[in-house]
Amino acid sequence: MAEPSAFIVTRNLRKTFVMGRTRVHALAGIDLDIPEGTFTVIMGPSGSGKSTLLYLIGGLDRPTSGTLLVNGQDLNMLDENALAVYRRNTVGFVFQQFNLITSMTALENAAFPMRFAGIPGKERAQRARKLLELVGLETHLRHRPVEMSGGQQQRVAIARALINNPRLILADEPTGNLDTTTGFGIMQLLSNLHRDGRTVVVVTHDPRMLRFATHVLYLLDGRLVSREEYEASIQTEPTG
Amino acid sequence: MRLFDLLALIFYNLSRRKGRVALTAIGVVIGTAAVVLLVALATGLQRNATRNFAGITDLTMVQVYPKYGGEGNIMMAKPGGGAEQPSQTKLLTTQAIQELAGLEGVQMVIPRDSLRWPGRVKVGKLEAYPYVFAVDTEDLSVMGYELLDGTLKLERGTALIGESVAKSFNDPNWRPGQPQPEQPQLLGQQVRFILTRWTQEGTTVEKTIPLRIVGILKQKMGETDYAMVVRMDDLTAWNEWGNGKRINRNKEGYEMVMVKAKDSRDVTKLADTINNLGYQASTPMEFVQGINNFYTIIQIVFGGIGAIALLVAAIGIANTMTMAILERTREIGLMKAIGATNRNVMTIFLGEAAGIGLIGGLGGVLLAWGLAQVVNVLAAGYLASQAAMMGGQEAGQAAYIAPWLPLFALAFSTLVGLVSGLYPALRAATMVPVLALKYE
């Protein structure tokens, strides 16, 4: 599986949390290569470290040890400022909780990241409107999150993730708070992004999402495992 | 991030929590109002004190007296009789006046002398006893004299008279029970000035001089109130008559000279220079500076008392911002996830804290301004009576808000907000994004 030109490369990636006196190895040595333009689904029960892995790739947290390259850039070498610029320009996040700002309209929420990129207001509004049309919310531009359904909110979040035109979309349980039909719609949207040439990494524990994936990674207790190993484990100890 | 976007975001964040921002800002309003009002009161006191003082004296004037040698300033009589003048003695002779006129920053030097013999002004049966002096200048307005009526132009045989003495005529033969005599009209009138001296044998000799009063000097709590001002040549002639010999200004000099500085700021320095030349110079500026120093201390103390209220408000801001950061932890995480730098986050929260300070400062300045108006209305009666007592000066304001004060108050309250926001903003900025995002 080692492709030298892979978009995301990790080698012996570890993340250890200290909880009181015990150390929890959230990631216990991950080696993976995710090629550019793929739709990768990371499967794993809760507590398997899949979200931790996603946040490390997204530069929202730093690994305890190991190598982490995205687009040839060693994230360990970036200072806080450069990491913020990396998140701004290279990554678009989609969260389970949507994380919209409740007092802002759909348009304002979608355009929000561009403020930190120093882009003028007019241009921000134009691009946000275009992206909201793309996710099918052209009639909801002035709606606030409370006035929208979960699926609509997640669409706003996807528009926001796309606003700075990132090459990498990271989604943490994007369908976790949605019913099945709505969830499929969201996955379809993410899949379209992949088809446009973006690299998409989605973390989920819902096997129904696998049909969209070009690559699947199984994570158990902070380690990458084979599909068989994963399924055997799921059957013996079911998780929620 | 663009400055406009930053400001817009700060304003937006403040506006979505109006209630809390308003409550927090009230603390700053009270603190700022306390600082502004107390400093305004101190400034008002200062202005009333210095204005009354400045009204009665010309701050550009240095009064120079001759210096007599020996210990202290007492003229030493030698045992052999005859007042021999030691070498340190500096008299205000004609040469001395030229020396003083040549000093840097001197506009003019005006000799002054007073009548050494008793004299009284008589109008009909009524008499008054002014202090008679002359200043040797054609233009008396440079002395700061103000007319109630008439002219300042003096010719030989004319005189100006102070308002107070003009109202103090009495009848030496008046007995209790008789009606008080009516004060005479003096302006333009011929009066008799009766000069008195004593011969060696002790007999009194009187000389009556006809004088015309050409001007009445406005009362201003100064030396002219009870004075009669005449021309120097008249005065010299009267003193010579009293002494029985001529006065040689080259040797005896004048009683005093007034050195007028070009600029009031140079007055203190000029007085020092003149003292170093060996004369005795004094200036009202020293006194005014003393008053100013005193009131500056009062302002600082008053401002400090007000600042305690601001300190309490600062704690309120810090508290509000800390709460805001707890509530908005996920939002902070989100901002970081979408590319806000630590500095962006820091600036936003600092800006919000400073914004609360600024809003409170604006409210405080307005409140203080309103309260100052109320105080001034309430104190107006008292100040007017005070002013009347001080000699007809215009009544001042009890609380005076100097133009710099609102600006200072705004800057200060904003700074207080900024400083209060420092710790919460720093906390927000240094949050690990992933932990902030997961914060429940």
Residue in the block written with tokens 């490390």? A56
The residues that bridge with B206 in the sheet, in sequence order, are: B196
Give CA–CA dist B419/B34, Å, rounded.
Answer: 20
A118 interaction partners in chain B (CB closer than 8 Å): 1-2, 5
> Hey, what amino acid is at A159?
A
**Residue B148: what pLDDT?**
86
Residue contact B434–A116, C-beta within 8 A: no
pLDDT exceeds cutoff 70 at B388: no
Are the beta carbons of B336 and A87 separated by less than 8 Å?
yes
Q: Quick one: pLDDT at residue B264?
A: 77
Interface probe for B, chosen from A116, A122, A158 (most Cβ of B below 10 Å), is: A116
The Cα of B439 is separated from the nearest Cα of chain A by a number of Å equal to 12
Mean pLDDT, chain B, rounded, equals 86
Of A101, A117, A118, the CB nearest to B331: A101
Q: B9 in contact with A at a CB cutoff of 8 Å?
A: yes
The answer to whether residue B251 neighbours chain A at the CB level (below 8 Å) is no
> CA-nearest residue of chain B to A115?
B1
pLDDT tens sequence across B268-309:
888 888 888 888 888 877 777 787 888 888 888 988 888 898
Does the distance separating the beta carbons of A84 and B344 come in below 8 Å? yes
CB B188 within 8 A of CB B178: no
ipTM of the complex: 0.91
Q: How close is the nearest chain B Cα to the Cα of A2, in Å?
A: 29
Q: Is the pLDDT of residue B69 over 80?
A: no
Percent of chain B with pLDDT over 90: 42
Please tell me whether residue A240 adopts helix, strand or coil conformation. Answer: coil
Determine contact, residues B333/B434, Cβ cutoff 8 Å: yes
d(CA A154, CA A169): 14
CB neighbours of B393 closer than 8 A, spacing ≥ 6?
B51, B52, B55, B220, B387
Give the pLDDT score at A213.
93
| Pairwise CB contact (< 8 Å): B434 & A85 | no
For an interface test with B, the pick among A15, A19, A52, A60 (most B C-beta atoms closer than 10 Å) comes out as: A60
**CA-based nearest distance A40→chain B, Å:** 20
High-pLDDT (> 70) share of chain B, %? 91
Return the domain boundaries, chain B.
Answer: 3-56+289-438, 61-282
Determine whether the interchain pair A85/B339 forms a contact, defined as Cβ–Cβ distance below 8 Å.
Answer: yes
**B204 phi-psi bin (left φ>0, alpha ψ -120 to 50, beta other):** beta
Give dist(CA A132, CA B405) in Å, integer.
51
User: What is the pLDDT, as a whole number, of residue B51?
Assistant: 67
Q: Does the distance separating the beta carbons of A84 and B336 come in below 8 Å? A: yes
Ordered by start, the domain boundaries in chain A are 1-90+166-240, 98-162
Residue B387 predicted with pLDDT over 80: no
- Is residue B76 scored above 90 in pLDDT? no
CATH class label, A1-90+166-240? alpha beta
Selection from A104, A171, A153, A162 nearest residue A134 by Cα = A162
Cβ contact B339–A61 (<8 Å): no
Rg of the Cα trace of chain A? 18
**Closest residue of chain B to A124, computed from CA coordinates:** B5
Give the CA-trace dihedral at A157, A159, A164, A165, to 10 degrees: 120
Task: Tell which wins on pLDDT, B200 or B409.
Answer: B409
- Contact (CB, 8 A) for B238 and B95: no
Answer for the pair B222, B145: CB distance below 8 angstroms, yes or no: no
Q: Which residue has the higher pLDDT, A50 or B145?
A: A50
Contact at CB, B437 and A60, closer than 8 angstroms: yes
Quick one: pLDDT at residue A237?
A: 59
What is the distance in angstroms between the Cα of B322 and the nearest Cα belonging to chain A?
19
pLDDT tens-digit profile, chain A (240 residues): 444 568 999 999 999 998 888 888 899 999 999 999 999 999 998 889 999 999 999 999 999 999 999 999 999 999 999 999 999 999 999 999 999 999 999 999 999 999 999 999 999 999 999 999 999 999 999 999 999 999 999 999 999 999 999 999 999 999 988 998 999 999 999 999 999 999 999 999 888 889 999 999 999 999 999 999 988 887 775 554
Residue type, B425: A
Question: Is B9 in Cβ contact with A60 (below 8 Å)?
Answer: no
Report which residue type is found at B312: V
pLDDT higher for B287 or B185? B185
B148-179 residue pLDDT tens: 888 888 888 999 999 888 888 888 888 888 88
Chain B residue nearest residue A166, CA to CA: B338
What mean pLDDT is predicted for residues B115-141? 89
pLDDT of residue B147: 86
Mean pLDDT of B300-323: 90
Is the predicted pLDDT of residue B386 greater than 70, yes or no?
no
Evaluate if residue B220 carries a pLDDT over 80.
no
The reply to whether the predicted model has a pTM over 0.80 is no
Residue A63 dihedral angles phi and psi, to the nearest 5°: -70, 155
d(CA B361, nearest CA chain A) in Å: 27
Chain B, residues 324-383, CB within 8 A of chain A, namely 330-331, 333-344
A residues 60-119 near B, CB within 8 Å?
60-61, 80-81, 84-85, 87-89, 93, 95, 97, 99, 101, 103, 112-113, 115-118
pLDDT score at B198: 87
Determine contact: B5 vs chain A, CB below 8 A.
yes
Q: Do the chains contact at A118 and B339, CB–CB below 8 Å?
A: no
CB contact under 8 A, B5 and A88: no
- Give the amino acid at B136: D
For residue A122, the chain B residues in CB contact (below 8 A) are: none
- SS3 state at B214: strand
pLDDT beyond 90 at B62: no
Q: With an 8 Å Cβ cutoff, are A80 and B341 in contact?
A: yes
